[in-house]
Amino acid sequence: MTTAVATGSRARRRRVELPPWQLLGPTVVVALVALAPIWYLVDQALDRGWGPAIEEVAQRRTVDLVVRSTALAGFVTLATVLVGAAAAWIVARSDLPGRRVLRVAFAMPLAVPSYLSAFAWVSWDPSIAGFWGAALVLVATSYPYVYLPVVAALGRIDPAQEEIARSLGWGEGRIAVGLTLRQARPAVLAGALLVAQYAYMDFGAVATMRYEAFTWVVYGAYRAGFNPTRAALLSVVLVAVSIVLVTAEGIARGRVDASRVGGGAARRGRPVRLGRATGPAAVFVVVVLGVALAFPVVSVVSWSLWRGGEAVAFGEVFSALWATVGVSAIAALVTAVAALPVGLLAARYRGWIARRLEQATYVAHTLPGIVLAISMVYVGVRLLRPVYQELPLLALAYVVAFLPLLVGSVRAAVEAVPERLEDIARSLGTSRSGAWWRVTLPAARPGIAAGTALVFLATMKELPITLLLRPTGTETLATRLWGHTTLSDYSAAAPFALTLLVVAAVPTALLSGLLLVRGREDGGHVG
Amino acid sequence: MSAEATHDTAPVLEVRGLRKSFGDRRVLDGVDLVVPAGSITAVLGPSGCGKTTLLRIVAGFEHPDAGTVTVRGVRVAGEGTDVPPERRRVGVVPQEGALFPHLDVRRNVGFGLPRGAASTERIRACLELVGLADRADARPDQLSGGQQQRVALARALAPNPSLVVLDEPFSALDTALRAKVRDEVVGALRAAGATAVFVTHDQEEALSTADRVGVLLNGRVAQCGEPIELYRAPASIEVARFLGEAVVLPGELDRDVVRCALGAVVPGSVPPGASSGSFLTVVVRPEQIVPSADGVGATAGETTYFGHDGLVRLHLDDGTEVDARWAPPLLPRPGDRVGVRVVGEVAVYAAPGPGR
Amino acid sequence: MSHRPSARATAAVFALLAAALAACGGSSSSESSSASATASTIDDATATPTGTITVYSGRTEKLVKPVIDRFTAATGVTVELRAGDSGALAAQILTEGKASPADVFFSQDAGALGAVAGAGLLRTLPAKGLLDVVDPAYRATDGTWVGTSGRVRVLVVNPTLAPNPPKTIDDLLAPAWKGRLGYAPTNASWQSFVTALRVLRGEEGAKTWLTAFAAQQPKAYEKNGAVRDAVDKGEIAIGFVNHYYLYEKIAAEGAAKVVAKNVYLAPGDPGGLVNVAGAAVLASSDNAVAAQTFVRFLLNEESQSYFATTTFEYPLRTGVPQASDLPTLASLRPPKIDLADLESIEKTQELLTSVGLLTK
């Protein structure tokens, strides 16, 4: 009907022309900044020339490690897609009681750092270490990256299609998998890419679980081998992996038209009755939240019960909290500013340049924290000496590390705003860039805010970059936590861990709450 | 409301020879259209015929491959000129309102206006025009579809545009509301003295609402004129077929009448160069076929009932099948014998038609 | 607007990229490659230290802060402390190169110090009153760093379960101890021990021992503290840790409650390795006087006693006694090894991985 006509004309309208310089300029600058680590890595890797470089990389062991990391990443990605999509479906489309609470609860594992979760598990049962332990922790801490965009996408889907499918004889299960979730495919793909990259680059979980992954040897090359060249070479391999992942996601996404056409709030479909499936669904919920959320939190709480007579250093906790919130807020804001032009460009333009620029911001995301940290040390010391180990460079490093989280959110949020609105704004006298500023970005605000909250959260938990680049004398909750756990002083670490979890819960709740606004439960407007 | 539009006699919009292709698909193939000041013109055509493309070119969101667009005597597109949409002063009301979701009604309507007291007054006036002055503080998702359309219209009118273009403005509304909203919107446009062009595929809408209707077929305006003219004297068989049902029959000119299966019919005009004996194509409207005791014999077939009338399939004695539209009391039962004749003038075309 | 400008713009973007790289590139990172002569020594005995120094410390803030506070009180020099992991800090210094803001590198182990020294980034320390208060075995041969405190590898045993504990690492391989041993695979001290083993017995010899050790199915624990606790509880009979862990537990819970005992290895046995924490001054330091004064301060009697009594480590200043119930270093006769050779930890990790003692 109207949808079909609009889609047709919309497909014609995919811009292949060049974006205006007001958009292209900032995007190029941001992309170049995001590629800074690559520049360092290539420089460092070729320090001794091409010959030794190739020899170092072309070893049997390198291939073995790539295979091991790929096996882990592959399993984790698959598992998070299943868990995240199932959780999103339960919250958005089923009639399981307590859905409102679950909507926020499912996002909460984002607040738990992977090193914390891994440590809690391996302390409880050391035999869990190895592949399965690492996979467990990685799935538990990263499935929200799939869950959040899918639950948002499900809120935008037209329920009429499900009703038609039912009338054609499709069972509920088939509809859920073959129709509903299928429509959320771009969201799933975007989340899956982030999870895959995360699985390759995470160090906390694989180190604690002693699973020999690629990041292991990268860290080893830095901290045990004191060999930055070797580390850089190994990192270049990770960059190559990242390029493959990003390209694959781009190809898979390219075939699907991301946004729902047709303005206005979506009409909510009737929730699907679970009936006999209520039991299994409830079990699923309990298992996921138990493993990912309840267990780490309870473990940390139990640490704080081993008080051993030492008073809690409230002063230290408070100043660490203050520093953490301050630094994370600045990082989130700067990243948001950087991500706006990139996300806008990626959403509105389809040319070769637009795609490469967007992908450029993702490429460095597979690099382990220590690689980003060392790259920014290198760049900082040579180009930005006055702000080295000062807040500006630290913020810049966070931007490089977390830009993809926000670019994805901005892009998805802008894609959901019909281009028609910009046309209308122009017909009313606003220039094209004025229309973006006055119409598109404000309309995309909830999605952009959610992405900003995500970066805020990631920065709060971050460790390697913070350790190397923080202003001397500044401690965050994460660095304090780390300091105490290296001494095995868990009772002293507990207050910092608890504070981190509690404070991180705030942006997480906001994240899932912000997405709540989109798909209103009370049914939008009357036709 | 806006005084200038009504006194200006020059056409507000002139489109000449517009061509546009997407890939190898020729969508517009030489479109000519003239829209006089203060009028409401409908561009009518089947789905996918390029009406929306035409609108987008006029508004400035697409660029024509050839041809020109002139608004108020100023060339805005074609032959090297390309005035961006923000400077054309062409208001747009799209298919589904498309109100800015993050602004309330008042700010939506005032979007194209500068800040200030004058604008506040203008916003109020435009909202009153569409009958929604009391919903100024509402948010778009609190309004019904019809209300959103009216706000969209107020928004388009507020900066006093030279021209307002509307893209299938009523097709998203359900039928019950459609007529009512249509009347309100048209009333607002007339009260404002605005010049408007709206595209639609709904014939009833075009014919009943607009002052002038342009029929867009095969990328060209096949005919443009007053609704009744289009209906009674379609310029070609395609237009005839498109507008309302058409009964197409071969015929032969016999001095001042044309003989066809329905008997002798009176042509509205005879194609140039035709003379007695020329083969012609006759187009008769179903409502022109009336029962008549001494008319052509036929057997009644199936009747399709519409409430206010019915369409009955008649099998003429010579084998031809025609549809006739009769009032309910006159509808026959299948198998009944009836006699029919044609009242009024019919449209006649030169080339022998391909029959039906 | 036509479609063609995109080709020209592509070229422009690439030119921009290339220009940016060229303008900023230029310098390679070879500044941090092989050693050259370090800066000449500074006589800080007569000069007055002032200003501020930045200390990169691989030792935790909790431990180091009291020393720093006393230093500031004594000299008026402000200290900016940057605590982290010794290896990561070394990597950071290596990357920073000559532009490093660090003045002092206080490392938990000698390997990291050796790596930074090897890159030519350290300043030679004066012998008088600084280097020569420490036994030559516990400082760099070229005088670029000095050990501040030492730790000994020991076996912590449960006397009930192991009434006749082994005295050499080869004795650990006896069948009686199968499944009853514990260690911490990711612990830096353990990995240093294995590195020493590779130096003392060669790559093949080390691999042989490690393979046999792996065959004993030792239990892996997260940290040395966990190993010690497991021995105390009786979960395992013998653990391989550093000497001070036992004393930490005694200090926390009281001698009466602690069952486990330290067993020192036979003289010269690789298992009795002494490793040191040490400090160095960066050649690029712009306040070398104050930096050297700080290192000197770490070696004065007060600081050395502090290490002895707080962490139960071995003070390395000759003449300062260790905590009362510890055997003297001299009596222990640890294996002779150049601590600088403990730098190749990465190779150790590879070896451990290949025999299955590091990763699962």
Nearest to A240 by CA among A200, A271, A208: A200
Rg of the Cα atoms in chain B = 24
Across the interface, whether the CB atoms of C85 and A32 are under 8 A apart is answered: no
- B164's tokens: 């307002």
Separation CA A302–CA C129 (nearest Å): 49
- Give the DSSP letter of residue A283: H
**A477 in contact with C at a CB cutoff of 8 Å?**
no
What SS3 state is found at C276? strand
% pLDDT > 70, chain A: 90
Phi, psi of B296 (to 5 degrees): -70, 140
Nearest residue in chain C measured CA to CA from A385: C99
Nearest to A84 by CA among A512, A505, A494: A512
Alpha carbon of B108 to those of A426, A431, B172, C208: distances in Å?
13, 17, 20, 80
Separation CA A299–CA B150 (nearest Å): 59
Separation CA A257–CA A347 (nearest Å): 11
Q: Which amino acid is at A287?
A: V
Q: What is the pLDDT of residue A267?
A: 58
Judging contacts by C-beta atoms under 8 Å, the chain C residues touching residue A32 are 17, 20
Q: Which of A421, A423, A445 sits opposite B61 (nearest CB)?
A: A423
Reported as a single tens digit per residue, the pLDDT across C111-164 is 899 999 999 999 999 888 888 899 888 999 889 999 999 999 999 999 999 888
Place of tokens 């929730």: A271
Mean pLDDT over all residues of chain A?
Answer: 84
- Burial class of B346 by CB neighbour count within 10 A (0 to 12, 13 to 18, 19+): buried
* Average pLDDT, integer, range C320-344: 85
Separation CA A81–CA A143 (nearest Å): 7
- C330's tokens: 């001299």
Question: How many Cβ atoms sit within 10 Å of the Cβ of residue B225?
Answer: 15
**A170 in contact with C at a CB cutoff of 8 Å?**
no
Query: Which residue stretches of chain A have pLDDT < 50?
Result: 1-13, 258-265, 309, 518-527
Reported as a single tens digit per residue, the pLDDT across B178-213 is 888 888 888 888 888 889 999 998 888 888 889 999
HSE-CB of A481 using CA atoms within 13 angstroms: 27
Nearest chain C CA: its distance from A19 CA (Å): 9
Give Cα B69 to chain centroid, integer Å: 20
Q: Which of B56, B61, B172 sits opposite A2 (nearest CB)?
A: B172
Domains of chain A: 15-256+278-522 (1.10.3720.10)
**A436 in contact with C at a CB cutoff of 8 Å?**
no
Nearest chain A CA: its distance from B110 CA (Å): 10
- Interface test with chain B among A428, A437, A440, A525, by most B beta carbons within 10 Å: A428
Phi, psi of C104 (to 5 degrees): -125, 140
pTM over 0.90: no
Place of tokens 């046999």: C212
* DSSP code per residue over A93-109: HB--TTHHHHHHHTTGG
* DSSP code per residue over A142-179: HTHHHHHHHHHHHTTS-THHHHHHHHTT--HHHHIIII
Nearest residue in chain A measured CA to CA from C65: A473
Handedness of CA C217, C222, C228, C233 (dihedral sign): negative
Q: Are A453 and A111 in contact (CB under 8 A)?
A: no
| Chain B residues 13-42 with a CB less than 8 Å from chain A | 22
Q: What is the dihedral of CA A336, A340, A341, A342, to 10 degrees?
A: 80
Place of tokens 């046995």: C269
Q: Which of A264, A421, A426 sits opposite B85 (nearest CB)?
A: A426
Reported as a single tens digit per residue, the pLDDT across A327-362 is 999 999 999 999 999 999 999 988 888 888 999 998
- C155's tokens: 């076996």
Q: What is the dihedral of CA A279, A280, A282, A287, to 10 degrees?
A: 140
Q: What is the pLDDT of residue A527?
A: 25
Which H or E run contains B164? strand B163-167
Q: Which amino acid is at C240?
A: F
Nearest to A405 by CA among A248, A190, A199: A190
Reported as a single tens digit per residue, the pLDDT across C75-114 is 999 999 999 889 889 999 999 999 999 999 999 988 899 9
| Chain B residues 324-353 with a CB less than 8 Å from chain A | none
Indicate whether C332 pLDDT > 90.
Answer: no
Residue A497 contacts by C-beta under 8 Å, 6 or more apart in sequence? A116, A300, A303, A477, A481
Q: What is the pLDDT of residue A196?
A: 94
Domains of chain B: 13-89+161-241 (3.40.50.300), 245-350 (2.40.50.140)
| Chain B residues 260-319 with a CB less than 8 Å from chain A | none
Q: Are B78 and B64 in contact (CB under 8 A)?
A: yes
Which H or E run contains B28? strand B25-35
Edge-to-edge strand ranges of the sheet holding B163-167: B90-93, B163-167, B196-200, B40-44, B212-217, B220-225
* Cα angle C349-C355-C360, degrees, rounded to a multiple of 5: 80
pLDDT band (50, 70, 90) for residue C342: confident
Q: Which of A18, A119, A224 sits opposite C87 (nearest CB)?
A: A224
Residues pairing with B253 in the sheet: B258
Across the interface, whether the CB atoms of B85 and A443 are under 8 A apart is answered: no
pLDDT band (50, 70, 90) for residue B170: confident
Helix axes A144-154, A185-201, angle to 10 degrees: 170
Q: What is the pLDDT of residue A182?
A: 79
- Interface test with chain C among A226, A375, A469, by most C beta carbons within 10 Å: A226
Q: What is the pLDDT of residue B2?
A: 45
Across the interface, whether the CB atoms of C24 and A382 are under 8 A apart is answered: yes
Separation CA C348–CA C207 (nearest Å): 10
Q: Which of A224, A382, A389 sits opposite C346 (nearest CB)?
A: A224
* DSSP code per residue over A294-317: IHHHHHHHHHHH--TTPPP-HHHH
* Pairs across A and B, CB distance < 8 A: 101
Separation CA C346–CA C357 (nearest Å): 14
- C217's tokens: 């199915």
The ipTM assigned to this model is: 0.83
Q: Are A295 and A121 in contact (CB under 8 A)?
A: yes
Alpha carbon of B124 to those of A297, B128, B132, B181, B306: distances in Å?
57, 6, 9, 20, 43
Residue A118 contacts by C-beta under 8 Å, 6 or more apart in sequence? A133, A134, A137, A204, A205, A207, A208, A209
**A11 in contact with B at a CB cutoff of 8 Å?**
no
Indicate whether B42 pLDDT > 90.
Answer: yes
Judging contacts by C-beta atoms under 8 Å, the chain C residues touching residue A225 are 344-347
Q: Are A424 and B92 in contact (CB under 8 A)?
A: yes
pLDDT band (50, 70, 90) for residue C27: very low
Handedness of CA A179, A182, A184, A186 (dihedral sign): negative
Judging contacts by C-beta atoms under 8 Å, the chain A residues touching residue B22 are 12
**B92 in contact with A at a CB cutoff of 8 Å?**
yes
Residue spans of alpha helices (H) in B131-226: 145-157, 175-192, 203-209
Alpha carbon of C99 to those of A386, A458, C29: distances in Å?
11, 30, 12
Reported as a single tens digit per residue, the pLDDT across B29-38 is 999 999 999 9
Indicate whether B229 pLDDT > 90.
Answer: no
Separation CA B157–CA B165 (nearest Å): 11
- A484's tokens: 């105490």
Across the interface, whether the CB atoms of B145 and A424 are under 8 A apart is answered: no
Nearest chain A CA: its distance from B9 CA (Å): 24
Q: How many helices (H) and strands (E) does chain B have?
A: 9, 20
Q: Are C99 and C284 in contact (CB under 8 A)?
A: yes
Phi, psi of A267 (to 5 degrees): -75, 135
Give Cα A491 to chain centroid, integer Å: 31
Judging contacts by C-beta atoms under 8 Å, the chain B residues touching residue A2 are 95-96, 168, 171-172
* DSSP code per residue over B297-310: EEEEEEEEE-SS-E
Question: How many Cβ atoms sit within 10 Å of the Cβ of residue C179?
Answer: 10
Separation CA A232–CA A225 (nearest Å): 12
Q: Are C238 and C231 in contact (CB under 8 A)?
A: yes
Q: Are A218 and A235 in contact (CB under 8 A)?
A: yes
Separation CA B303–CA A57 (nearest Å): 83
Q: What is the pLDDT of residue A526?
A: 27
% pLDDT > 90, chain B: 28
Q: Which residue has the higher pLDDT, A14 or B100?
A: B100
- Give the DSSP letter of residue A487: T
Rg of the Cα atoms in chain A = 23
Q: Are C62 and A487 in contact (CB under 8 A)?
A: yes
- A81's tokens: 């897609």
Nearest residue in chain A measured CA to CA from B174: A527
Nearest chain A CA: its distance from B305 CA (Å): 26
Q: Which amino acid is at B346?
A: V
Q: Are C148 and C125 in contact (CB under 8 A)?
A: no
Judging contacts by C-beta atoms under 8 Å, the chain B residues touching residue A443 are 100-102
| Chain B residues 113-152 with a CB less than 8 Å from chain A | 140-145, 148
Q: How many residues does chain B have?
A: 356
Q: Which of A211, A228, A353 sits opposite C94 (nearest CB)?
A: A228
Across the interface, whether the CB atoms of A483 and C353 are under 8 A apart is answered: no
Q: Are B62 and B165 in contact (CB under 8 A)?
A: no
Across the interface, whether the CB atoms of A209 and C96 are under 8 A apart is answered: no
Q: What is the pLDDT of residue C212?
A: 94
Q: Which of A18, A39, A212 sits opposite C353 (nearest CB)?
A: A212
Q: What is the pLDDT of residue A146?
A: 93
